[in-house]
Chain A
Amino acid sequence: MDFSRRDLLGRCVAIGVVKLGAGLTITTAIDSWLLAETVARTKTPVDQLGPFYKKGAPQSPSHTAVLRARGDPGLQLLVAGAVYNTRGEALPMAKVEVWQADHLGHYDITGYRYRALLRSGAKGEYDFQSVLPGHYPARKCQHIHFLVQAEGHKPLVTQMYFGSDPVFKGDPAKNMNDDCPSVELVRPVLLSDQATTMAASATFDLVLEPR
């Protein structure tokens, strides 16, 4: 069984390892403890919704999704991260909607290729498998769109970019492009050899503001 931090603290109180001071309830004590343990996070910079948003993306039943189909061309890509708020609390069950171009820079307007809606897991985690998006004439930088919504928080519309993108000439901090609003959205790319296929992975945590 996988106990949450809250469960464990509750058990500590129950068996007397943690004792409560006068006037403290278990709930307020644990809330305060958890708050003290969290690390405040800076909200993720916003970025434009863009002209290719399409509602009704296929919903994944879990925190993970597969956007690419078997045999799809392009460099395989795994994106993983977690959803937090600016207090540093993980946000489970957040709606994470992603959409991107295929490896040639084409968005699927008529269907839902490379589009998904998933829900973050118990610790706010999410991940999806895709391909590295291509460039297209109207945008200089490779990017993936995110729309993140969680109860009690402002919706976050943003995009992630890739440090490997030739646009950044190997150093996004020095070679930022007007097409990308913040270097914080540019993520390092890890290449790995998966048996016969080279694959890329990148992490992208999403931090929402409470309402």
Chain B
Amino acid sequence: MRKILALLAWLVVFVSTDPSSAQTVKQIAKLDASGDVYFAVLCGGGESVAAVDQANNVHLWDLATGQHHLVKASLNAQVDPFAFACEQKTVAVGSVHGTVLLLDFDGQVKQRFDLKEEIIGLKLSRDGNKLAVSTTNSPIQLWDVASGSREWIGTTSFGNSNGVRISPDGKSVFAADGDTYLRAYDIKGKLIYAAEGDLLEPFDVSVSAGGTMLAVAGAEGRLELRDSSTGKVLKKSSSCGNSIFLVTMSPKALTVLALIVDASSLLPAGIGYWNVNDPQLKQLTVDPKTVVGMGTDAKGLVLIRQESPARLSIERVE
């Protein structure tokens, strides 16, 4: 998504916000880095961290030992920040020209797909066997990692899917669609429901560890807690007044992290934090220019920040 390219400035732009937060952000690990990365994810439930830099190098760290490993993704085009996923020693990387690479941790190419549309989102199933893909112009697609074949493509009334997720049990797939609907499919591609959203587009969806709850957010600037089996909205946060591009829900579905971007410039404007029992969407007192990723481990929400070109900081949000 071209809008995502604005996030390449994530590391160099700071949009002033008015954070108010009682949340604590505690460092749980420091990782030595060899330069700036612009997007990072947690792998294997928090065993490792994967990141991509602007030269399309994939950086891998073992969180227990801090060991760093560099893998070259042989792509001839820019990687979209959100077109990057990691699970079970598999890294998925997608380019703005439509190539998806699946690499193992040794850098061996397991699969290569050419979709001929800009890849804007990738999510691997927890077992690493399925890959959900979103592009600029098409509905969600589900690919089989082992065979390298597309299993199905979803549907929209018009336009593309934005954020996509596979449930932790691997049985359901969710898509935040540009036609303003949230759609759920079973793993075979059967549409379970299309739940109407707000007036503006949803950009991302996150699934709780138990698979029962969804966090959804987008251009409306607020977070929604939805029942994953029906898509029904259970709770809504206040609006931050800007767009939310990325959401991560804690394992027990009690708290959510959100990447907030300025609705006009599409540049990062803050990191939102929502306790679902409090309608207020708060902002963490972290400098968003340093945040390169977010995720969850068994204990809860995790931020990945680049303190300096030589250092990544892994931090728990409580």
Seen from chain A, the residues whose Cβ lies within 8 Å of a Cβ on chain B are: 46-56, 105-107, 109, 136-139, 147, 149, 155, 157, 178-179
A138-B6, A178-B96 are known contacts. Are A49 and B159 too (CB-CB below 8 A)? yes
The answer to whether A52 and B219 have CB atoms under 8 Å apart is yes
B-chain residues with CB within 8 Å of residue A51 when the two chains form the complex: 1, 3, 201, 203, 219, 243, 266
Which B residues from 1 to 57 make CB contacts under 8 A with A? 1-3, 5-6
Contact between chains at A106 and B264 (CB < 8 Å): yes
Residue of B nearest to A49 (CB): B159
**In the complex, what residue of chain A is closest to B242 when comparing beta carbons?**
A109
- A48 CB to closest chain B CB (Å) equals 4
Known: A55-B199, A138-B266. A46 touches B137 (CB 8 A): yes
**With A54-B200, A136-B265: A49-B96 Cβ-Cβ less than 8 Å:** no
A56 to B203, CA, bound (A): 19
Q: B interface, by DSSP: helix, strand, loop or mixed?
A: loop
28 intermolecular pairs with C-beta atoms under 8 Å apart: A46-B137, A47-B136, A48-B1, A49-B201, A50-B3, A51-B1, A51-B201, A51-B203, A51-B219, A51-B243, A52-B200, A53-B159, A53-B180, A53-B200, A54-B199, A56-B199, A106-B264, A107-B264, A136-B266, A137-B6, A137-B266, A138-B265, A138-B266, A139-B3, A147-B159, A157-B137, A157-B160, A179-B2
Q: Are B219 and A138 in contact (CB under 8 A)?
A: no
**Smallest CB–CB gap between B91 and chain A, Å?**
25
Q: Is the CB of B199 within 8 A of A138?
A: no
Contact of A137 among B1, B137, B265 (CB under 8 A): B265
Contact A138 B200 (CB under 8 A): no
**Chain A positions within 8 Å of B137 at CB level:** 46-48, 157
Instruction: Looking at the assembled complex, report how far the CB atom of A151 sits from the nearest CB atom of chain B, in whole angstroms.
Output: 14
Chain B, residue nearest A106 (CB): B264
Apart from A48-B136, A49-B159, A136-B266: 11 A-B pairs, beta carbons within 8 A: A49-B179, A49-B201, A51-B3, A53-B178, A109-B200, A136-B264, A137-B6, A137-B266, A138-B266, A147-B159, A155-B157
